[in-house]
Chain A
């Protein structure tokens, strides 16, 4: 990524006009550095509960980095530094007394490339509940696995081969398996990092349907390159550019009547 800030007016950090009601995730002045590189600059955003929020923006704008701050996945990168405040249900997740493992159990994640464990379909879904001790018995665990696969819309396709390897499924099925795995531990929030970028249009449509169904129970944050996808699945949209949150608001408003010129340029395809 060779783009610099030269020639572009310095973006003003976006401050929401009015705090969203029932905000699940609240980020204030979040800055992320990768070594010398300042990847995220003073991001403030409120993510509502029981809704889908989409992060859009060109490659390298920091939307994935910001997403990974919400379940502290960036902790695994030694050179990554995060400052500012991110609260989930009014609890600072960067508080040293908070256990990051418990946080990640509450904030599930679905990755860009389907990454099922090279184990059976059953084991893929059962792993989370098992390590967190969510099932008291084998019957319990069976029920959790069945429920999760049903919610992920995969159960009917795999119910006869739960012991087959998860890696033997098609790409779209693998991604739904990953979603089932994420929801098996009943998280509050599901982070999705471009979940459809490796899938064909039909599989993408199924995942989008699924996201729409899951919205009623979870707070979903999705990073996407496809503006059509953002428009289809999300209620709120945030536009990132060069590490700055340029604009955030109701999806309809962003796409029909953006306040910022750069947002308009991006969604109309002038750059990106």
Chain B
């Protein structure tokens, strides 16, 4: 706009933009280079992040895959007619509390005939999980007429046996033979004599392995010799002696060799049985029968084989007999792999094959429910009051600053507050979703308030003015027009806050949600745990199978997060309004 004051009309100096000189062109090139550099930094950052994310996801997902399937033995289980007393036959409680161990044992012995003695029998029964009879128990309770019949049922394998089929056992190589072999007996400790030096090949391998062990012992001895710890010198001397012995054995190419658990296991499959070699010579072996032979007659060339379990017995969780049994079940076609429904339908357990996430998922759901019920109304109401109604003065400024600060307070502090207030002062139950929800509500409230205020602020003031202009009261204008328009933003903020709460562990440790809880919680005052805490608990357990469980629980948690964030994005897209 102009005004009435007259301007002096001195000609202004005109400065043109220089576009032709070499300096100007160099300047343009410099500008282009700077832009290209900045863009490439951005691209590089995105690619790096994408690679890390991909590696993380691939790692977690591949590690988790074994946990989503489970192996069981498909066996014929004979249920004797007197399994439960006749008068209790239709009492499900009696059926459930009956002893299923003999049933399992008989079924296993039927599947692999000839297993004798307490030791092998115990090994056999230990292949099964303690939860193996669960399926049969429920079937019998539901249908007592099955008592006295033989049913085909899947029996859950124990974690080590299960892992064996998932590749955590040993590689197995089989070598065909050229000569004949004659076993001395069908069970116990036997010798097998072969025509020709049938085992010399194996003997060489064993000698090489011994030399390797000797070298390892020498290295270890050198390290011990350098050590200043007490007894290191003795240990070094000891190791050297061992190494010398091993080397002596290794050099004597012709001598028979005693096999121990440090060496790969050698076995002979002959006449339908399996013999574990304990002493190896070039033409004959001595060994323990793992699976009984059908006869002691001479085996023709090609009818018997030498089997090697490459991983030494001492380096795996599962012994030779167990491997032999599992391999036998596998050849019989009795091993069945299925989706691990139990992982989603049962609570936590000390047995990896029985442990499930249902307790943690239910606990998470209950905790988040409490959080949401508390947070959403309080947070949104606080945001509306502060944004629309509160007078703007030093007091509300302090409140605003404090809310922003609360959003940055470490979550463990909220856990301590929960411990001091809810548990010690109000005496609420420990480990309960109620308390967890309360603590997480404290954590999420600032996020929701800040997000809701931003959403309310983003609604154009013209909408509120329009409402006021037709005679709506301030409250009507806010609740009828501003709030509905701010709702997508509020929902997004709330869901992101809840997703944050979903992954929170530290404050829940403080209020005792870290306990080992088997039962699935049924209410907000039951003891419970939540997904991230379950991950934390499982990651600490020594059993190998829990590694996969941990990864699988992480996958479930991530799926929850993706679903929640996806919902937030969908809500924003769906209800976003343009004006």
List A residues at the B interface (Cβ < 8 Å).
Answer: 1, 3, 7-8, 58-59, 71, 73, 76, 78, 101-102, 104-106, 108-111, 113, 115-118, 127-128, 131-132, 167, 178, 181-182, 184-185, 265, 270-272
Contacts and interface: CB of A to CB of B under 8 A. Distances in A.
B392 A104 contact: no
B409 interface: no
Interface string B444-486: 0000000000000000101111111111111010001100010
Contact of B470 (A76, A185, A265, A270): A185
B579 A118 contact: yes
A117 B466 contact: yes
A104 B473 CA distance: 9
A104 B4 CA distance: 39
Contacts, number: 86
Contacts of B476: 131
Contacts of A181: 466, 470
A32 to B, nearest CB: 18
B1 interface: yes
Nearest to A105: B471
Given A115-B466, A178-B466, A272 B1 contact: yes
Contact of A115 (B391, B392, B463, B480): B463
B466 A111 contact: yes
B87 interface: no
B14 interface: no
A59 B470 contact: no
B2 A271 contact: yes
B4 A131 contact: no
Interface string B258-300: 0000000000000000000000000000000000000000000
A128 B2 contact: no
A189 to B, nearest CB: 12
B324 to A, nearest CB: 74
29 contacts: A1-B1, A3-B1, A8-B4, A71-B469, A73-B465, A78-B391, A104-B470, A105-B471, A108-B469, A111-B465, A111-B466, A111-B469, A115-B462, A115-B463, A115-B465, A115-B466, A117-B463, A118-B485, A118-B578, A127-B467, A127-B472, A128-B471, A131-B470, A131-B471, A131-B472, A132-B471, A184-B470, A185-B471, A271-B4
Contacts of B5: 7
A98 to B, nearest CB: 13
A3 B471 contact: no
Given A127-B480, A265-B4, A101 B465 contact: no
A59 B2 CA distance: 11
Contacts of B471: 101-102, 104-106, 128, 131-132, 185
Contacts of A106: 471
Interface in B384-419: 391-392
Contacts of A115: 460, 462-463, 465-466, 579
